Amino acid sequence: METRDLVAYLDQFLRINEIRDASMNGLQVQGTSEVNKIGFAVDACVDSFKAAKEAGVDMLIVHHGLFWGEPLAVTGSHYLRMRALIEWNLNLYAAHLPLDAHPEVGNNAQLAQAMDLQIEYYFGEYSGTPIAVFARSDRKITAQELLQRAQKAIGDHVRLDAFGPDEFRNIGICSGAGASMLPEAKKIGIDAFITGEPRHGFYHYSKEESVHVLYGRHYDTETIGLKALADHLEDLFELDTEFFDIPTEI
C-alpha cells in the first residue's frame, strides 16, 4: 500500500485534523513510500524503533509521538530517535487524543467494551473535544467486581482506592493521565473512575467525595486502542501488523 494512501485514510478515520492536541498528530517522520507491514507501540522511543526494524515494519504507529507543540533541538535523545528513523527509512505516525477519543478503536471505548460497560456519552473536554467516557453497567456492581473486570482487561496490577458506594452503575473512564477529570466525573454523578496514573493530590479528594478510583498504569491503559486499530487496518487493507509491548510499569 502506498504510504500516502495509508496516511490519508488514518487522518480521516482518526479525525487527525479536527482534534486539537499538544501532540503533532499524523505523519511525524517520513520513511519508505510503500507500506507492507505496520507496527504499533505506545511510545516513540529507540526501543520501539529497533523492534520495528527487526520485524520488517515500514510504518510505526504510536500513541506518544516525538513532537509536542514546540520545536526541539536535534540533540541527545531526540537526535538518537530521529537518526534511527531516518537511517532505517521508517515512517512514524502519531495519534494521541484522536486515539483516546475515537468511538470505535479509542482507548476509552475499548476499555469500556472490555469491561462489559455501555457508553452513554463522552465528557471531559480538551480543547473542545470530549475525551473521557461516561459508561454504565447493566446492573449494580461492587468495587471488587469492577476491579476484577479491570484486571481482566488491563492486568493484575490495577490499584483500587475503594472509597465509593457499596453498589453502583455509573463509571467514568479516561486512559493515561486522567486523574484531573475526577471533579468533573463526580459532578456528573460518576461513582467509580478508571484511569492510568495515580496523582497524590486526588487521593484524599476521592476519599472525601466517596468515589472509587482504579489506576491501571498509564502505559497499560493505552495499549488497547492501538491493538484495536491494528485489527481494523489488518482487516480493511490485508496488511501485516504487529504490536510491540515495551512496558514502562508506570
157 Cβ partners below 8 Å, 6+ apart?
Answer: 216, 217, 220, 249
Coil/strand/helix, residue 199: coil
DSSP H helices, 66-178, are 76-87, 97-101, 107-114, 143-153
Any idea which residue has 482487516 for its cell? 235
Q: How many CB atoms lie within 10 A of CB 47?
A: 11
- pTM of the prediction? 0.97
Length of the chain: 250
pLDDT digit string, tens, across residues 89-105? 999 999 999 999 999 99
pLDDT digit string, tens, across residues 44-87? 999 999 999 999 999 999 999 999 988 899 999 999 999 999 99
Coil/strand/helix, residue 25: coil
Q: What is the pLDDT along the chain (250 residues), one digit of tens a residue?
A: 999 999 999 999 999 999 999 999 999 999 999 999 999 999 999 999 999 999 999 999 999 999 998 889 999 999 999 999 999 999 999 999 999 999 999 999 999 999 999 999 999 998 889 999 999 999 999 999 999 999 999 999 999 999 999 999 999 999 999 999 999 999 999 999 999 999 999 999 999 999 999 999 999 999 999 999 999 999 999 999 999 999 999 9
- In the prediction, which pLDDT does 35 show? 98
Domains in the chain, please, with CATH? 3-95 (3.40.1390.30), 101-218 (3.40.1390.30)
